[in-house]
Amino acid sequence: MKVTSYSQGKWIEKGTSTDMISAVTGKPVAALIEADLDYKAMCDYARTTGGPKLREMTIHQRAFRIKFLGQYLMKHKEEFYELSTHTGATRRDSWIDIEGGIGSIFTLSSKARIELSDLPFHVEGGVERLSRGGTFMGQHICVPKHGLGVHINAFNFPIWGMLEKFAPAFIAGMPSIIKPSPLGSYLAHAVFKKMIDSELLPEGSVQFIAADKPGDLLDYLTSQDVVAFTGSAETGRKLKAHPNIIANSIPFNLEADSLNCSILGPDVTPGMEEFSLFIKEVANEMTVKTGQKCTAIRRTIVPAGLTDDVVSALRARLEKTTIGDPAKEETRMGPLASALQSNRFEEQYNRLTEVTDTVYAADNGLKDAFTNPRVLLCHKPLEVDDVHTIEAFGPVTTVLPYQNIDEAIAIANKADGSLVGSLFTADDDVARVITMGCAPYHGRFMIVNRHSAKESTGHGSPMPHMVHGGPGRAGGGEELGGARAVLHNMQRVALQGSPTTLMNIVQQYIKGAETKESDIHPFRKYFEELTVGEALTTHRRTVTEADIVNFGSLSGDHFYAHFDEIAAKDSLFGRRVAHGYFVLSAAAGMFVHPSPGPVMLNYGLEDLRFLAPVYPGDTIQAKLIVKKKTVRQKRETDKDPYGMVWFDVHVINQNEEMVAEYTILTLIKRKKRLDIDLD
């Protein structure tokens, strides 16, 4: 197997060949072909070919491509599993990397289609009123940058690390250049090749570098580019300090390995379920991926009185760990990723043993990249700095005893920034105090008790729905986070202008903008025929005493403000008023078209506000305005293709005062089938 670069739409087959060694057999599993790449040309190609093609598409169209890519990759997962064993990963380890990585892009695609605009850019948040008269307004939008994303990935998760960076950049409209760690890059390459084979990705939208180091790639980046790095804190700091990165203020997301912690709450005793859950989680994080996780538990913080119990329980659990060939079903822990990584682990581990006691380290006669789990104990964790600064990247944790809650928090925060901390407690007051004490120092904080444990995804599993990163030593970066991951790769722009001008720019109705009366009732139009800003102004209706009585009888709502004239005099209204929900219902009666048509259903209502009372004798009128549109994928079970249309509804009285406003969500048939439709 050859690991080659993919540059400017072509595979580069010639270059210096280096054997890539299996962590299991010690024999070559692939050859890294390091070519003399023209990085400037690769950057130019991404900007001039890939970027324009991506920006022609809407966010939703790009997100659908990612969804379909995930489906394509999932069909080939067994090929990836077979290859993954050579990195030292068991089936369980590989599941995190392979199906966890592919699952992440499914989630990112879904979140983008739910939360972001079906436009080439995203309209973010509400409109800001910048003037008293409402003729000068503000609106934030997030637009695709005219650059590229450089993604430099670590060796421990070749697939997950690549996909979780690539997917949000692609959805954002930004082409990518992917540079995996050479260690295990044969697995990243296998997945990347399938990505190209899928023919789902526009020309120029992604390139791949097969090389030991990124060379002078960073020299050719501009302010429109973005860099995302995962790896050691030391390497990350060097790259982030690159003169060109600093000179051009290039966004640099750094996700560095950190000394993450897990805390056993002071309320927990050995007989409690939370104690068993804690021991299981610590042991699990030591052995999954042989401890080679940026989120692994390096520091185990426990009540001083339970130190012996924790050490004993960890020893008992770790002794059951079967170490060996990761391809075998009974194996629970494979080797480290390489002999080099094994040497690095031993060097850092030996440094830690100089300031700690070794309380568990089985001698299994292992050699090469194979190793065994180890537990260290530091009796004075607030005085010994090394346990908070030295990371042995492998299956080891250090037990750190504390005397009280304040001390537990101080120990947890002493590493000065981590990707994740966790707390096991059955006491919600303890959970609140420790969480708020630790929160500023950790990018993610997981609280576990017997109620959440069954469905918990675990200390070491960042979820694509939520941000992943951390302050200080962890890099100060932030990635993932659902739709936020996409927006990290876009430029936020504050637009200012008249409501009508802004509406025409952002393609979404803005309150106060000029509307155009529809010549046909909007509910008689198909999705494609509706335009943002078109409106229907209804006939008028005078509210009567009988309306209030009948609505109250029908709904069962006999609130005094609607029925008790005397009591109503002392209310905010001064006299009896119509039900707010009657006004809502009456407005629907005025704007809904009774005949069958393209409207399939109204399925939601947002931002409802009753702004002024409606009294018996008042006359109301509604205005229906097309606010925004989104295409929805037609599934095999759907009878017709459709889209979502948001309509703003304004209800006024005879004095032209707004008495109610809200947005209704509708499903409306499409005339056309699109390439996203399944049948």
Mean pLDDT, rounded, of the chain: 91
DSSP 623: E
pLDDT value for 67? 94
- Quickly count: other Cβ atoms within 10 Å of residue 529's Cβ: 15
My answer on whether 507 and 532 are in the same domain is: yes
Q: What CATH number should be reported for the domain holding residue 525?
A: 3.10.129.10
My answer on whether 642 and 563 are in the same domain is: yes
- Rounded to whole angstroms, the Cα distance separating 641 from 668 reads 9
Is the pLDDT at 365 greater than 70? The verdict is no
My answer on whether 228 and 245 are in the same domain is: yes
Residue-number span of the structural domain to which 573 is assigned: 501-669
Kindly give, in sequence order, each residue whose CB lies less than 8 Å from that of residue 613, ignoring residues fewer than 6 positions away.
573, 577, 578, 659
- Quickly count: other Cβ atoms within 10 Å of residue 413's Cβ: 20
- Rounded to whole angstroms, the Cα distance separating 423 from 440 reads 15
**Residue 161 Cα distances to 189, 405, 416, 539, 558, angstroms:** 13, 36, 24, 58, 59
* Residue type, position 185, single letter: S
Active site residue 294: yes
Residue bearing tokens 């889209």: 643
Catalytic residue among 43, 142, 294, 378: 294
Mean pLDDT of 42-64: 95
My answer on whether 455 and 516 are in the same domain is: no
* pLDDT tens profile 501-527: 999 999 999 988 999 999 899 999 999
Model confidence at 209, in pLDDT bands (50, 70, 90)?
very high
- Rounded to whole angstroms, the Cα distance separating 622 from 587 reads 6
Q: Which of 256, 280, 310 delimits the end of a domain?
A: 256
Model confidence at 678, in pLDDT bands (50, 70, 90)?
low
- Quickly count: other Cβ atoms within 10 Å of residue 521's Cβ: 15
Half-sphere exposure of 244 (CA within 13 A, CB side): 13
My answer on whether 208 and 282 are in the same domain is: no
| Pairing outcome for strands 442-448 and 418-424 | parallel
CA 183 to chain centre: 26
Residue bearing tokens 């709904």: 555
Model confidence at 56, in pLDDT bands (50, 70, 90)?
very high
pLDDT value for 195? 95
pLDDT value for 662? 95
* pLDDT tens profile 281-322: 999 999 998 888 888 999 999 999 999 999 999 999 998 888
- Quickly count: other Cβ atoms within 10 Å of residue 240's Cβ: 19
Reported as type and span, the H/E element at residue 485 is: helix 483-487
pTM: predicted TM-score of the whole model, two decimal places:
0.88
My answer on whether 524 and 605 are in the same domain is: yes
Reported residue count of the chain is: 679
Whether 189 is in a domain gets the answer yes
Model confidence at 65, in pLDDT bands (50, 70, 90)?
very high
Is the pLDDT at 405 greater than 80? The verdict is yes
Is the pLDDT at 649 greater than 70? The verdict is yes
- Rounded to whole angstroms, the Cα distance separating 98 from 194 reads 13
- Quickly count: other Cβ atoms within 10 Å of residue 439's Cβ: 13
**Residue 345 Cα distances to 392, 474, 563, 569, 570, angstroms:** 5, 19, 78, 79, 77
Q: Which of 256, 277, 300 delimits the end of a domain?
A: 256
Q: What CATH number should be reported for the domain holding residue 71?
A: 3.40.605.10
My answer on whether 607 and 624 are in the same domain is: yes
Q: Which of 618, 661, 676, 624 is nearest to 645 (CA)?
A: 624
* pLDDT tens profile 548-562: 999 999 999 998 888
- Provide the Cα torsion 379, 381, 386, 391; round to 10°: 100
My answer on whether 423 and 275 are in the same domain is: yes
Q: Which of 152, 156, 164 is nearest to 66 (CA)?
A: 164
Tokens standing for 214? 């990124």
* pLDDT tens profile 90-145: 988 888 889 999 999 999 999 999 999 999 999 998 899 989 888 999 999 999 99
Most confident of 48-57, 248-257, 636-645: 48-57
My answer on whether 273 and 219 are in the same domain is: no
pLDDT value for 654? 94
Helix axes 158-172, 185-197, angle to 10 degrees: 40
pLDDT value for 616? 93
Catalytic residue among 255, 274, 391, 479: 255
Q: Which of 256, 285, 318 delimits the end of a domain?
A: 256
105 phi and psi, to 5 degrees?
-75, -30
Active site residue 255: yes
Burial degree of 320 (CB within 10 A; 0-12, 13-18, 19+):
exposed
Q: Which of 471, 474, 141, 457 is nearest to 294 (CA)?
A: 474
Model confidence at 352, in pLDDT bands (50, 70, 90)?
very high
Helix axes 545-555, 580-591, angle to 10 degrees: 100
Q: For the chain, what is the domain count? A: 3
My answer on whether 67 and 205 are in the same domain is: yes
Q: What CATH number should be reported for the domain holding residue 465?
A: 3.40.309.10
Q: Which of 673, 632, 656, 645 is nearest to 64 (CA)?
A: 632
* pLDDT above 70 coverage of the chain, percent: 99
Check: CB of residue 297 under 8 Å from CB of residue 282.
yes
**Quick one: residue 50, left, alpha or beta (phi over 0 = left, psi -120 to 50 = alpha)?**
alpha
Mean pLDDT of 268-276: 93
Check: CB of residue 121 under 8 Å from CB of residue 142.
yes
Model confidence at 495, in pLDDT bands (50, 70, 90)?
very high
- Provide the Cα torsion 356, 342, 278, 360; round to 10°: -50
- Quickly count: other Cβ atoms within 10 Å of residue 605's Cβ: 13
Whether 132 is in a domain gets the answer no
Whether 59 is in a domain gets the answer yes
My answer on whether 456 and 519 are in the same domain is: no
3-state per-residue secondary structure call for 502-546: HHHHHCCCCCCCCCEECCCCHHHCCHHHCCCCEEEEEEEEECCHH
My answer on whether 528 and 414 are in the same domain is: no
- Rounded to whole angstroms, the Cα distance separating 469 from 477 reads 5
Model confidence at 330, in pLDDT bands (50, 70, 90)?
confident
